[in-house]
Amino acid sequence: MNLTRVTLFLLLSLGVPRMAEAQHTDPGTRAAVPETDALARMRRALLVIEGEAPASFFAGQGRAGRDALLSILASSSEPLILRRRAAVALHHYPEPVVRAALEARAIDEAEDAIVSRYALRTLGLAFGASAFEVIAARLGDPRPFVREGAALSLTALDAGRAAPYLRARLAIEPEAFVRSTLAVE
């Protein structure tokens, strides 16, 4: 067991002071959402995880864990690092409600570009080829980080199928770092 897993185990099993009184705002309703044990546990886990937590951790959290991750992802009052990590962790829950939430974050041009980028990456990871067209559409996003994330996701899904999309975007892409991702061999 490496140090990260030991730390995660200690924090989640033995407990860190709980923030039972804390609340966050649900941007959909702008109403305060009370802190739940699952939400506090997921926040702590996302704070201490440097890489990928074991799938067994997320499987053990069940629906409450999934709902907590969805809440973190949707809340603009959560720290960006937690929202990004929640987007990535949601690949452990390949369910329609998760897909809908990831798509909403990916296509919302008012959303933080990094959150949208990671939502796209997770769509590809969790839903594979069925998410191809949603991801491909984001090659036209006005935010360069989102376009780059779309290109990376498409290439990972199916480089052959992605090639015409990437070439078409490459012909008009103004950002050098995105062009380098779009370059097809």
Spans of all domains in the chain: 19-93, 104-185
Token pair listed for 93: 């829950």
Q: Are 148 and 117 in contact (CB under 8 A)?
A: yes
Reported as a single tens digit per residue, the pLDDT across 100-145 is 999 999 999 999 999 999 999 999 999 999 999 999 999 999 999 9
- Taking every pair of Cα atoms in the chain, the longest distance, rounded to a whole number of angstroms, is 55
For residue range 18-61, list pLDDT tens digits in order: 333 334 444 444 344 457 889 998 998 898 876 667 788 888 89
Q: Which residue has the tokens 């909403």?
A: 104
**What integer is the mean pLDDT of 157-171?**
95
**Alpha-carbon distances, residue 83 vs 55, 67, 87, 143, 147 (angstroms):** 19, 13, 6, 18, 19
SS3 for 150? helix
pLDDT higher than threshold 50 for residue 90: yes
Q: Hey, what are 61's tokens?
A: 């959290």
Share of the chain above pLDDT 90, in %: 68
State whether residue 94 is helix, strand or coil: coil
Does the predicted TM-score (pTM) go above 0.85?
A: no
- Can you read off the two tokens belonging to residue 174? 């103004």
What would the two tokens of residue 101 be?
A: 């939430």
What is the full DSSP assignment across 107-148? H-TTS-HHHHHHHHHHHHHHHGGGGHHHHHHGGG-SSHHHHH
The answer to whether the beta carbons of residues 24 and 78 sit under 8 Å apart is yes
